[in-house]
Structure 1
Amino acid sequence: MAQALLKGTKLRLVFQVGMDDEGNAILKSKTFSNVRKEATADQLFQAATAITSLTDDMLNNLERNDSSEILAE
């Protein structure tokens, strides 16, 4: 049986920085590495809210990206 070992977590914030000529949103993202693997969704949301308060851009999406190593037993 295989086992997954959590290697790392990243937090990706996607901001809407404007609109193009056709009315589509222009998006820009910022990724933060070395996020604590134990961080809860609420904690990540609070961090994203604090970071967003430092910008003039609107937060469009918030993503948690976990990477795992698959080990065979």
Structure 2
Amino acid sequence: MAVVDLVDSMLQLTFSEGVDEESGEPILTYKRFNQVKMEANHEQLYNVATAFAGLQEHTLYQISRRDISDIYES
């Protein structure tokens, strides 16, 4: 049977800096916060992300949480 252990978590904010004139695609930049408390729930991360986004020059495009887990046989 496989066991999963959450070992790290990261919060990533994606900002839109405008639109590429040639391709029409959005120009995106990223801010990453490593070693997020693994116990932090989605509401807490959302609140932190939107507060931080309010201090930025560019428009918030997306909020992502990226978790890293080890998977092994028990």
Using the size of structure 2 for normalisation, the TM-score is 0.92
- Percent identical among aligned pairs is 38
Question: Greater CA deviation, 43-52 or 23-32?
Answer: 23-32
Aligned to 1:53: 54
* Secondary structure at the counterpart of residue 5 of structure 2: strand
Bigger strand fraction: 1
Q: Distance in 2 between matches of 1:68 and 1:20?
A: 36
RMSD between superposed Cα atoms in Å = 0.9
Question: 2: CA distance between counterparts of 1:51 and 1:68?
Answer: 27
1:68 aligns with 2:74: no
Equivalence for 1:15:
15
* Superposition pairs of residues 10-49 of structure 1, within 5 angstroms: 10-22=10-22, 23-49=24-50
Q: What's the CA shift for 1:44? A: 0.5
Unaligned runs of 5+ in 2: none
Q: Which residue of 1 aligns with 2:4?
A: 4
Gaps in structure 1 of 5+ consecutive residues: none
Cα distance, 1:24 vs structure 2: 2.3
Deviation at 1:43, TM superposition (A): 0.4
After superposing on structure 2, the runs of 4+ consecutive aligned residues of structure 1 that deviate more than 4 Å are none
Q: TM-score, normalised by structure 1?
A: 0.93
Structure 1 Cα separation of the partners of residues 2 and 26 of structure 2:
42
